[in-house]
């Protein structure tokens, strides 16, 4: 298999974690006889510094012509602390998402026994938690008409969804459910909202094409409770933009560390893979950042290429490091390993070079 991957390392810890993911992708390529061509592009503060804009046209161009984009993180304190700054690193990512029409944001939530001490939830609740949230990303109230009357005394936001917007992400979610435990939960507020009733109708229609997938429906307020009370009940969660924003952030804290959560954003053409963590400027260049978010994003990229066995091998390798105490400073502040060491261990594992017994 030959694939073109745009790599956007970005700012802060972006470059150092992304390099570990590339290391792992290289190990996968070598093992399977694949050819991954990397095209390094600029975005974020580093792009502003070098070109004056957070997202150079060349990056958009390359991204549109790629098979996938591997992205690190962007953001720099010199812009955060300057409220007068007209150009901001974050604008780059928003514009890239828009250019690529990334309509589905996908976030797996997995728990690891070795991280239970970091989770706010009790260990018993964390066992066997493994679900994935599909959040619609380009519609809903975030993009509807916004109005403020002339006197500034009344404001409105419109939430609007079309059948087609719901269908395209619903098909992705159903296909994912078929590859997993075959359960899909639509989170909505159909007892109140017209848009939610359309979501429910469309999902019920589409469900007929996936008879092996069991579908259920959950109101968003109940979902916010269930994610804490009994997260293992979920397999694939599908939801609209705002509900997805809230429940995916809520769900992100249960694993105990944001440092190892990956994400994918799927568009009509290309797809983008990134850890959910930020650029973490304080840790920059210290080789202490957790590379698992980026490495597990690379695993999702492999899934996207149809390389499921390889993707699972990478996840297995990540698990193996966690189980054996090969963790970064955020997980164990006393006995920790460097970012680059974890990347090395995981690429070695993928290459079959695991130390037999540790």
Residues known to be catalytic: 142, 189, 221, 245, 249
Shorter beta-carbon distance to a copy of itself: residue 87 or 229: 229
Are 220 and 200 in contact, with CB atoms under 8 Å apart?
A: no
CB of 267 to a copy of itself, least distance (A): 20
CB of 73 to a copy of itself, least distance (A): 18
Given Mg ion, a copy of itself, none, residue 222, with its beta carbon under 5 to 8 Å by kind, binds a copy of itself
Shorter beta-carbon distance to a copy of itself: residue 122 or 208: 122
Q: How far is the C-alpha of 102 from the C-alpha of 71, rounded, in Å?
A: 14
Q: Which residue number has the CB closest to Mg ion?
A: 221
* Binding to Mg ion, residues 309-338 (CB under 5 A): none
Site membership for Mg ion, residue 225 (CB under 5 A): no
Q: How far is the C-alpha of 260 from the C-alpha of 346, rounded, in Å?
A: 14
Strand partners, 267: 102
Reported for 171-174, long-range contacts at CB under 8 A and 24+ positions apart, including other chains, are: 171/206, 172/104, 172/106, 172/134, 172/266, 173/134, 173/236, 173/238, 174/206, 174/207, 174/209, 174/210, 174/213, 174/236
Given Mg ion, a copy of itself, none, residue 142, with its beta carbon under 5 to 8 Å by kind, binds a copy of itself
Shorter beta-carbon distance to Mg ion: residue 90 or 245: 245
Site membership for Mg ion, residue 221 (CB under 5 A): yes
Q: What angle do CA 236, 240, 243 make, to 5 degrees?
A: 90
CB of 138 to Mg ion, least distance (A): 15
Q: How far is the C-alpha of 97 from the C-alpha of 271, rounded, in Å?
A: 9
Are 66 and 269 in contact, with CB atoms under 8 Å apart?
A: no
Shorter beta-carbon distance to Mg ion: residue 202 or 276: 276
Site of interaction with a copy of itself (CB under 8 A): 119-122, 125, 141-142, 144, 146-148, 152-164, 189, 192-195, 197-198, 201, 220-222, 224-225, 228-229, 242, 245-250, 252-254
Shorter beta-carbon distance to Mg ion: residue 40 or 219: 219
Calculate the alpha carbon distances from 62 to 71, 128, 341 in Å.
13, 40, 31
Site membership for Mg ion, residue 245 (CB under 5 A): yes
Residue keyed to tokens 């590339």: 22
Given a copy of itself, Mg ion, none, residue 157, with its beta carbon under 5 to 8 Å by kind, binds a copy of itself
Binding residues vs Mg ion (CB under 5 A): 221, 245, 249
């Amino acid at each position: 298999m030959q694939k073109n991957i745009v790599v956007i390392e970005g700012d802060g810890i972006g470059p150092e974690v992304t390099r570990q993911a590339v290391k792992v992708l290289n190990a996968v390529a070598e093992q399977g006889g694949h050819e991954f061509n990397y095209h390094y592009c600029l975005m974020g503060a580093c792009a502003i510094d070098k070109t004056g804009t957070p997202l150079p046209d060349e990056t958009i161009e390359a991204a549109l012509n790629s098979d996938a984009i591997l992205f690190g993180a962007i953001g720099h304190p010199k812009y955060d602390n300057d409220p007068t700054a007209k150009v901001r690193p974050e604008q780059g990512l928003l514009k890239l998402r828009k250019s690529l029409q990334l309509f589905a944001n996908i976030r797996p939530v997995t728990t690891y026994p070795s991280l239970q001490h970091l989770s706010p939830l009790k260990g018993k609740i964390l066992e066997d938690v493994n679900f994935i949230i599909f959040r619609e990303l380009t519609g809903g109230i975030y993009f509807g008409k916004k109005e403020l009357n002339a006197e500034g005394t009344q404001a409105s936001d419109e939430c609007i969804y079309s059948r087609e917007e719901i269908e395209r992400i619903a098909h992705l979610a159903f296909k994912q459910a078929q590859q997993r435990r075959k359960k899909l939960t639509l989170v909505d507020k159909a007892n109140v909202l017209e848009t939610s009733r359309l979501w429910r109708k469309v999902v019920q229609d589409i469900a007929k094409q996936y008879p092996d997938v069991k579908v259920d429906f959950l109101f968003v307020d109940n979902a916010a409770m269930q994610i804490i009370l009994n997260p293992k009940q979920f397999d694939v969660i599908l939801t609209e933009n705002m509900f997805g924003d809230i429940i995916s952030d809520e769900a992100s804290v249960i694993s105990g560390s944001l440092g190892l959560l990956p994400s994918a954003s799927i568009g009509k053409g290309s797809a983008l893979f990134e850890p959910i963590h930020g650029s973490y400027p304080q840790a920059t260049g210290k080789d202490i950042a957790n590379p698992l978010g980026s490495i597990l994003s690379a695993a999702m990229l492999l899934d996207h290429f149809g390389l499921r066995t390889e993707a699972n091998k990478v996840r297995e390798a990540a698990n193996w490091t966690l189980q054996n105490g090969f963790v970064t400073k955020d997980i164990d502040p006393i006995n920790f390993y460097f970012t680059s060491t974890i990347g090395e261990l995981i690429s070695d594992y993928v290459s079959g070079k695991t130390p037999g017994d540790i």
